[in-house]
Structure 1
Amino acid sequence: MIDSILTWTVQRRLASIEYFRQNPHEVQARVLQALLLKARATEWGQRYGFADAPSGTEFARRVPVSTYEQLYPAIERVLRGEPDVLWPGQVQWFAKSSGTTNARSKYIPVTRESLRECHYRAGRDMTALATSLYPEKRVLAGKTLSLGGTHAPNPFRPTEEASRVGDVSAVIMQNLPSWAEYLRTPPLEMALLDEWEEKIERIARHVLSINVSVLAGVPTWMIVLLRRVTELAGAGNITEVWPNLSLFLHGAVAFGPYRELFRQLIPAEQMRYLEIYNASEGYIALQDQRDSEDLLLLLDHGIYYEFIPLEQVESENPQALSLEQVELGCTYALVLSTNAGLWRYAIGDTVRFTCLAPYRLRITGRTKHFLNAFGEEVVIENADAAIAAACRATGATVRDYTAAPIYFDAANTSRGGHQWLIEFNESPPNPAHFTATLDQTLRELNSDYAAKRHRDLALSPPVLTIASTGVFTRWLASKGKLGGQHKVPRLSNSRAIIEEVLCQL
């Protein structure tokens, strides 16, 4: 009965989802006006005339696009407890990102409104869509096993216990409404442990006897937990421990390279996978179709969206497009104005629209995470697809990877190349075949890469370096970024990251 009541409750959101699918521009205009009205008396609201209720075009003319570095002086004041800077009142919670846009961590304000109207509303949407897409799975009949990070006192206000910073997953878990907390496992105090090895061990032992029907978390770390649970249970695979397991809600990293490994870990016909796009800055999109991995852009969740064409990202005055101006197939840098007080904030992610009615997209990478040392313009979307194709061709499964340029040297002055450092769960029996498939798939997906690789004129064939087991975990641990939302940067135009990881071999 509880399962039926919860399903009915969350599915009431389906009508709202359909409304913004059908009326995207009206909904976005309304979101912008609500944001401006709420923040009109803040410092930024007064500086840029939010009380005038400017249109989207006028809003874009008045307010500059900001990177984290440009917005940081205002964010630091919020961190230190100043009220009414970017958003009304004093902000108590901050999501601490892994700093993938630059070397240092980023602190993103998480307001009461962003928790309630963005993250939790999107969580209900996710649950509503899952129960609607897979009614036969009885998604809410068991527990959702969620892996997250931890939180700690705000270092800018260490004496104020109420002000905390942490992974966005930990911030969300700590503040979950009672209905959502009822659905999840393990207990909160265990889920928020900061020692990752202890957390995995304690969670694994706790959930052995739990009826887990849904998994939620980052694929990289879920693999570690599933293997430990299976080992503790003395089982052949995880379905022997959790026979009702039927859904994995995953995000943070592209799932393609992990798909085959999860088929091996969870060899069950009933298993389904749904992707979510939940960043520190807000819950942005989620998968809403059974037969497509495209993500539905969430339009009534306190976020107003703009999009900068990729070729303008590095320009001094980039011209952001509104939702109605985007085109299919183009890559855009994502710009958000949110109910956490982020105004025209470039979050560093790039997306490509696959559908305009309704608006669906795919994450293509990061504005600063790509390989373009020689004009090849390889983005993460290309890399993940090529890794997945090489795995299919060779029977390999990948645990983690990163890639970087091999620059010209005295012995090779005419050509550059790429080094791919890959940690396998199942190594390819023929590494040369894996590398050749990776190379060929990149050629097929990316015309710039293909041109540079033509007859090896500008780019040498890729170099595969097989990493020893645990090397990326050791590297993350050395950076104090083990577990939670932290992840290995996939692509870089610098060799700094790959050289650090190689030192862990």
Structure 2
Amino acid sequence: MSIKSIAAKIFAQKIYKKTQLWATNPIVTQKKVLMELIAAAKNTQFGIDHHFETIKNEKDFAKQVPVRDYEALKPYVDQVVKGQENILWKGKPLYFAKTSGTTSGAKYIPLTKESMPFHIEAARNAILHYIHETGNAAFVDGKMIFLQGSPLLEEKNGIKLGRLSGIVANFVPKYLQKNRMPSWETNCIEDWETKVNAIVEETFDKNMTVISGIPSWVQMYFEKIHQKGGKPVGEIFKNFNLFIYGGVNYEPYRAKFENLIGRKVDSIELFPASEGFFAYQDSQKERGMLLLLDSGIFYEFIKSDEFYSENPERYTIGEVELNVNYVLIISTNAGLWGYNIGDTVQFVSLKPYRIIVSGRIKHYISAFGEHVIGKEVESALQEAIRGTNIRINEFTVAPQISPLNGLPYHEWCIEFENEPEDSVTFAEALDDAMRKQNMYYDDLIVGKVLQKVVVTKVVKNGFQDYMKSIGKLGGQNKIPRLSNDRNIVDQLENLPIIK
């Protein structure tokens, strides 16, 4: 055992004990975080406008600070982008994480000197919890790859900006620099296909032990490694035993990954976003990710089915229930207040508080009142392929309200790695699984309002071609699992990728 792996185990024990201090005192921890945030920002423009000096508790905060998304907070953000100080948080932010907006073009998410360290520490602590639980630390001596955006940053009114993953790349600890791949030069390549090809060449003969990234883009890397070597990834990288991912659910990809790798590997799920690092998988034995309650973020939760009502209830950590779909609302030490990031979560444990990401509040299907969410379509697909040789590369679901013939239906556009032997039987299994997941959908099938699902096959690499066509190939970009309109499906059908 190397000195580095011994040191990692000692450090892991220390971090685990530190985590237990706040994880076992969640309500006190969250109230402390809120009051510290209020005290730090009471003299900012936002704090003055919302009378922070009078806020004494969570109820006061909910009364005085409305829930906002980026569009609603934009008047404040615009002032920060212009270089003004003390608007949402004291002083100026260190960085802006630039992301794609919906109605307002580019979004500029502030990262401050207070918030930035938590992005780094959370990813580190996820690995340390894995070491503490499993005792596996040998991987720290090998090479680690992180598929991410370019670390080259622009500047706007004296504040640097770039993709979150690119900004974080500038903060890799010195003790990991020798182990980290790809090279700085390769990481700076903007074109995703060119970048992945360069990464393959750099890493092919290296002792890769940890690989991290969004599953869909890591899959692309694995496929190219497999093509170059002519054998499973696990034979090329004999010591590769840990996959770290975030952004999308890994389960739909798991069978394909294990086939590409040639064996099973451990995995760690992360829940990072430009707005904050919210949770990570702290156990290989327990379901869900540990919600980070002591990381400069105060959390509130609104039930998804109440979110669009006039005055929905905002719940704090001590008031949440298991298996309820909540919209995640955050207030942070980067100056986001009552901020709706758009993600929905469910609690799978309350001791400690562990969550799963169930979807996006804007990504759902309710064309007929069924309100199907991302977690349900992913679970239904997993059920339909369980015990079969079917493997899925990618998929998305949309309603077809006005078919040329017959009743409306849900259309599943699926890119298969291994297609079903009997497509009719597969579609029936998928529909049956969907009916078990969502009782409203089941009622619509029973009531003959909808016909059973229709599966549309997408050609190999079809989704990659689609993402390339809209300028979103690679990086943190990902295909929505479902949508309440046919914008994506119609674009897929306009490309020569539908069988």
Q: Superposed, which structure 2 residues align to 1:236-385 within 5 Å?
A: 236-269=231-264, 271-385=265-379
Of the structure 1 ranges 101-110 and 298-307, higher mean CA displacement relative to structure 2 is found in 101-110
Cα offset for 1:396? 1.6
**How has the CA–CA distance of structure 1 residues 53 and 16 changed in structure 2, closer, same or farther, with 3 Å as cutoff?**
farther
For the pair 1:36 / 2:38, whether they are aligned, the reply is yes
Cα offset for 1:153? 5.2
Cα offset for 1:465? 0.7
Structure 1 SS opposite 2:238: coil
For the pair 1:226 / 2:218, whether they are aligned, the reply is no
| Partner amino acid, structure 2, of 1:215 | I
Cα offset for 1:481? 1.1
Residue of structure 1 aligned with 2:165, choices 163, 169, 177: 169
Structure 2 SS opposite 1:32: helix
Residue of structure 2 aligned with 1:458, choices 449, 453, 457: 449
Tell me the alpha carbon deviations over residues 196-253 of structure 1, each in whole angstroms, 9 at most, x when there is no partner: 1111011111112221111111000001111212322x24111222111111111101
Structure 1 equivalent of residue 183 of structure 2: 187
Q: Structure 1: how far apart are the matches of 2:13 and 2:79? A: 40
Tell me the alpha carbon deviations over residues 269-321 of structure 1, each in whole angstroms, 9 at most, x when there is no partner: 5x211211112211111112222331111111111000001122112332211
Structure 2 SS opposite 1:4: helix
| Partner amino acid, structure 1, of 2:240 | L
Tell me the alpha carbon deviations over residues 414-473 of structure 1, each in whole angstroms, 9 at most, x when there is no partner: x32111111122222222222111111111111111111116x11111111101122211
Of the structure 1 ranges 71-80 and 215-224, higher mean CA displacement relative to structure 2 is found in 71-80
Q: Structure 2: how far apart are the matches of 1:328 and 1:165? A: 37
Structure 1 equivalent of residue 465 of structure 2: 474
Q: Structure 1: how far apart are the matches of 2:479 and 2:28? A: 39
Q: Structure 2: how far apart are the matches of 1:342 and 1:444? A: 38
| Partner amino acid, structure 2, of 1:165 | G
CA RMSD in angstroms comes to 2.0
Residue of structure 2 aligned with 1:206, choices 202, 207, 228: 202
For the pair 1:500 / 2:495, whether they are aligned, the reply is no
Q: Structure 2: how far apart are the matches of 1:323 and 1:235? A: 50
| Partner amino acid, structure 2, of 1:362 | I
| Partner amino acid, structure 1, of 2:251 | G
Cα offset for 1:97? 3.0
**How has the CA–CA distance of structure 1 residues 68 and 194 changed in structure 2, closer, same or farther, with 3 Å as cutoff?**
same
Q: Structure 1: how far apart are the matches of 2:32 and 2:103? A: 33
Structure 2 SS opposite 1:351: strand
Is the contact between residue 394 and residue 430 of structure 1 (CA under 8 Å) also seen in structure 2? no
Residue of structure 2 aligned with 1:217, choices 208, 213, 216: 213
Tell me the alpha carbon deviations over residues 307-357 of structure 1, each in whole angstroms, 9 at most, x when there is no partner: 001122112332211111111121110000011110010111111111111
Count of matched residue pairs? 494
Structure 2 equivalent of residue 3 of structure 1: 5
Cα offset for 1:192? 3.3
Cα offset for 1:268? 2.8
Q: Superposed, which structure 2 residues align to 1:99-118 within 5 Å?
A: 99=101, 104-116=105-117, 118=118
Q: Structure 2: how far apart are the matches of 1:28 and 1:92? A: 25
Cα offset for 1:388? 1.7
| Partner amino acid, structure 2, of 1:57 | K
Structure 2 equivalent of residue 197 of structure 1: 193
Is the contact between residue 17 and residue 125 of structure 1 (CA under 8 Å) also seen in structure 2? no
Q: Structure 2: how far apart are the matches of 1:98 and 1:213? A: 32
**How has the CA–CA distance of structure 1 residues 293 and 180 changed in structure 2, closer, same or farther, with 3 Å as cutoff?**
farther
Cα offset for 1:102? 6.0
Is the contact between residue 37 and residue 53 of structure 1 (CA under 8 Å) also seen in structure 2? no
Residue of structure 1 aligned with 2:86, choices 71, 84, 96: 84
Structure 1 SS opposite 2:286: coil
Q: Which runs of 5+ in 1 are unaligned?
A: none
| Partner amino acid, structure 1, of 2:207 | N
Tell me the alpha carbon deviations over residues 22-45 of structure 1, each in whole angstroms, 9 at most, x when there is no partner: 100111111111211221221112
Q: Which runs of 5+ in 2 are unaligned?
A: none
Structure 2 equivalent of residue 443 of structure 1: 435
Q: Structure 1: how far apart are the matches of 2:411 and 2:104? A: 21
Structure 1 SS opposite 2:386: helix
| Partner amino acid, structure 2, of 1:481 | K
Structure 1 SS opposite 2:413: strand
Q: Structure 1: how far apart are the matches of 2:183 and 2:140? A: 17
**How has the CA–CA distance of structure 1 residues 406 and 353 changed in structure 2, closer, same or farther, with 3 Å as cutoff?**
same
Tell me the alpha carbon deviations over residues 33-86 of structure 1, each in whole angstroms, 9 at most, x when there is no partner: 121122122111222233445211111111111111101121122222222111
Is the contact between residue 10 and residue 124 of structure 1 (CA under 8 Å) also seen in structure 2? no
**How has the CA–CA distance of structure 1 residues 449 and 184 changed in structure 2, closer, same or farther, with 3 Å as cutoff?**
same
Tell me the alpha carbon deviations over residues 119-165 of structure 1, each in whole angstroms, 9 at most, x when there is no partner: 112122112111112213523222221101135655854xx5x5222
Is the contact between residue 9 and residue 135 of structure 2 (CA under 8 Å) also seen in structure 1? no
Structure 2 SS opposite 1:335: strand
Is the contact between residue 98 and residue 161 of structure 2 (CA under 8 Å) also seen in structure 1? no
Tell me the alpha carbon deviations over residues 468-489 of structure 1, each in whole angstroms, 9 at most, x when there is no partner: 1222112211222110100011
Q: TM-score, with normalisation over the residues of structure 1?
A: 0.93
Structure 2 equivalent of residue 58 of structure 1: 60
Cα offset for 1:104? 4.2
**How has the CA–CA distance of structure 1 residues 503 and 393 changed in structure 2, closer, same or farther, with 3 Å as cutoff?**
farther
**How has the CA–CA distance of structure 1 residues 130 and 384 changed in structure 2, closer, same or farther, with 3 Å as cutoff?**
same
